[in-house]
Amino acid sequence: MSLLVRYTLKSADDHAHQTQAMQTLVAGLAAEGVTGCHYSCYSTDSATEFVGLLEFADDAGKQAFLDSAAFAAYRAAVGPTFTGPPQTTDITAIASTRD
């Protein structure tokens, strides 16, 4: 199970803050030992738009991510900078060069 997540910031001035928060999130997930999920975030050609890819091994991996202190800290840090809640779309992999 996977999710495509789109984040839109209120201001381009928050770009560096969002970038740092994403890097902190990923480091925090690793430090907590959260398993069963893979997270990648990408900036776009717009300073206010980001795209994330969340891949979960199963429901337990998704729940471990959602329950993590790293994710809670991320939401608290950047939530106020978003124009609204991130938009999520369930996606299904059909081909990949990734193991």
The reply to whether CATH 3.30.70.100 applies to domain 2-91 is yes
Predicted pLDDT of residue 1: 87
Phi, psi for 72 (deg, rounded to 5): -60, -45
Q: Take residue 5 and report the two structure tokens written for it.
A: 């997540």
pTM for the full model?
0.88
**Successive 10-residue mean pLDDT values, the chain, 99 residues:** 95 95 95 93 96 94 95 94 95 87
Q: Using the Cα atoms of residue 2, residue 90, residue 94 and residue 53 in order, give the sign of their dihedral.
A: negative
